[in-house]
Amino acid sequence: MKKKSFFKKLLYSQKVAPYVFVAPFVITFAVFFAYSIVSMIIMSFQKVAGANSTFVGLENYRVLTNSIFIKSLKNSIFYTIVSCALMIPIPLVLAAMLNSKPMKAKATFRSILFIPALTSVVVAGVVFRMMFGELEGSFMNQVIGVFGKDPIIWLRTPATVWLVLYFVCLWRWTGVNMMYYLSGLQQIPQDLYESASIDGASKWQAFWNITVPLLKPTIVYVLTISIFGGMAMFSESYMLFNGNKSPNNVATTLVGFLYRMAFEQNNLGIGSAIGVTFLAIVLVVNVLQLALNGTFSRKER
């Protein structure tokens, strides 16, 4: 009985309770994230052959001079920059429209725009691969045929490949970012807009001088996850090309090259070296953009 009462007091203690609630996250983080990262870093200095591993120093990091690695890095950076340029302002404008009073059927439009995020990337990839097929009967070739254009081999030319990838990105993630912005917009007091209207401010002035500054934390968050999502893009490319084999590596990303080396060529050491490099790049870029946005400063800039 004494033991039960002791544990009961321990669990209901105000000092212990916070640690009990935080414990599941800490355990999950330690097992599935921290341990994995440490193992990956160690493995990047090893040659792994089944259950055996041999220390090889920096030999695996020679892959950083590989031409395909350099191309995949450029592809990932280019995709991230353009996707962020699309996925920051477009969902913000849509969220502002859906949050406005004159807008009708708000719930319907929110659901329609969010549905793509719930769709399996496998199903979406197959559908888009058929839409942008090479045959004259594919959907997009029929669309451009209405305007008198010849059929296009969409997934062979670099320009059209990137066009398709950005189209998929917009279709899939616009609704997600829009919901983040909507949650932030609903926290802004309407009195501010009414005061601005009384002072003669236009809707654009109110949006630029009230909405954007007060949404800064949400915008920074969306930018942070967009940078990681852009650099980590792999599934969309994999499904569009029915495998990790885009022509002339036109759409091979950093994660795609990691997958190729680690699993297709069964070289976990080199794959881990690419993974460490990927982690370092994303960490440095996000820390820099957070610092520039004033996230680490005590006072808001």
Question: Is the pLDDT higher at 5 or at 294?
Answer: 294
**Alpha-carbon gap, residue 69 to 277, rounded angstroms:** 11
Helix count and strand count (H, E) for the chain: 16, 2
Give whole-number Cα distances, 88 to 60, 113, 178, 215, 299, in Å.
36, 15, 9, 12, 24
Look at the domain 62-292 and name its fold: MetI-like fold (1.10.3720)
Contact between 64 and 277 under an 8 Å Cβ cutoff? The reply is yes
> What is the DSSP pairing of strand 52-55 with strand 46-49?
antiparallel
**Alpha-carbon gap, residue 203 to 62, rounded angstroms:** 55
**Mean pLDDT of the 106-125 span:** 88
The chain-wide mean pLDDT, for the chain, equals 88
Which bin fits 108, alpha (ψ -120 to 50), beta or left (φ > 0)? alpha
**Alpha-carbon gap, residue 192 to 176, rounded angstroms:** 26
Contact between 123 and 171 under an 8 Å Cβ cutoff? The reply is no
Q: What is the DSSP letter of 162?
A: H
Contact between 281 and 258 under an 8 Å Cβ cutoff? The reply is no
**Alpha-carbon gap, residue 241 to 231, rounded angstroms:** 18
**Alpha-carbon gap, residue 250 to 242, rounded angstroms:** 14
**Mean pLDDT of the 286-298 span:** 81
Q: Which contacts of 40-47 are long-range, i.e. CB under 8 A and separated by 24 or more positions?
A: 40/272, 40/275, 40/276, 40/279, 41/272, 41/276, 43/268, 43/269, 43/272, 44/269, 44/272, 44/273, 44/275, 44/276, 45/269, 46/269, 46/272, 47/269
- Please list, in sequence order, all residues whose beta carbon lies within 8 angstroms of the beta carbon of residue 66, skipping any fewer than 6 positions away: none
**Mean pLDDT of the 181-204 span:** 87
**Mean pLDDT of the 128-153 span:** 90
* pLDDT greater than 90 at residue 219: yes
**Alpha-carbon gap, residue 114 to 50, rounded angstroms:** 43
- Please list, in sequence order, all residues whose beta carbon lies within 8 angstroms of the beta carbon of residue 256, skipping any fewer than 6 positions away: 72, 234, 237, 238, 244
Strands (DSSP E) contained in the chain are 46-49, 52-55
- Please list, in sequence order, all residues whose beta carbon lies within 8 angstroms of the beta carbon of residue 115, skipping any fewer than 6 positions away: 175
- Which amino acid would we find at residue 178? M
Contact between 167 and 131 under an 8 Å Cβ cutoff? The reply is no
**Alpha-carbon gap, residue 6 to 268, rounded angstroms:** 49
pLDDT at 271: 93
Instruction: Give pTM, 2 decimals.
Output: 0.86
Per-residue pLDDT band at 223 (split at 50, 70, 90): very high
**Alpha-carbon gap, residue 151 to 144, rounded angstroms:** 7
How many CA atoms, within 13 angstroms, populate the side-chain half-sphere of residue 172?
22
pLDDT in tens, 187-198: 888 888 888 888
Per-residue pLDDT band at 162 (split at 50, 70, 90): very high
